Structure 1
Amino acid sequence: MAICDVCGNDYANSFLVSMRGKSGTFDSFECAIHAFAPRCAHCGCSVIGHGIEHADTIYCCAHCASQSGVQGANDHPS
């Protein structure tokens, strides 16, 4: 068994996630997302989908990107 790095739960089915030289042990995807997901530069929520990236800044959606001054951000491009 291994202890989750986020919540401290000692769990028999824990797993390891590695990304860009950082790794962690987790008991759930929820904890892994909490530790690894980028945060929206406007509202601060976890970006667990594609999000929108502009000038090395990540936003969760076009609304947040637009509110931060990104021109032409669109969640549903034609």
Structure 2
Amino acid sequence: MGACSTCGNDYDKTFAVETADGTHLTFDSIECAAHLIAPACAHCDCRILGHGIEASGTIYCCANCAQHSGVEGAQDRVAT
């Protein structure tokens, strides 16, 4: 199928991903896909593999990182 878009490994079991803007990418592993296309937290720079928290157009991996960046009221849980 081709070489991985992240690491360049030419592997017979790659998979293709089409991004929202129509770009076609090829990967040999989920790890390489996450490294290249998952958004990064604006505070700690880790890759966000879940929903994360978005405030004023900026995405964070968790409420703690959002709070450290000055976002008020960010919570990972809401009391019921």
Which category describes the TM-score, using the shorter chain as reference length? over 0.9
CA distance in 2, matches of 1:31, 1:15: 11
Q: CA deviation at 1:20?
A: 1.5
Question: Which residue does 2:66 correspond to in 1?
Answer: 65
Q: C-alpha distance in 1, partners of 2:33/2:2? A: 14
- Tell me, what secondary structure is at the counterpart of 1:20? coil
Cα shift at 1:23: 2.5
Aligned counterpart, 1:8: 8
Partner SS, residue 33 of structure 2: helix
Q: Give unpaired runs (5+ residues) of structure 2.
A: none
TM-score, with length taken from structure 1: 0.93
- CA offsets per residue over residues 39-74 of structure 1, 9 Å max, x none? 100111101111000111000000000001111111
Letter paired with 1:20: A
CA RMSD of aligned residues (A): 0.9
Identity %: 55
Runs of 4+ off more than 3 Å: none
Deviation at 1:19, TM superposition (A): 1.6
Count of residues in correspondence between the two structures: 78
TM normalised by structure 2 equals: 0.91
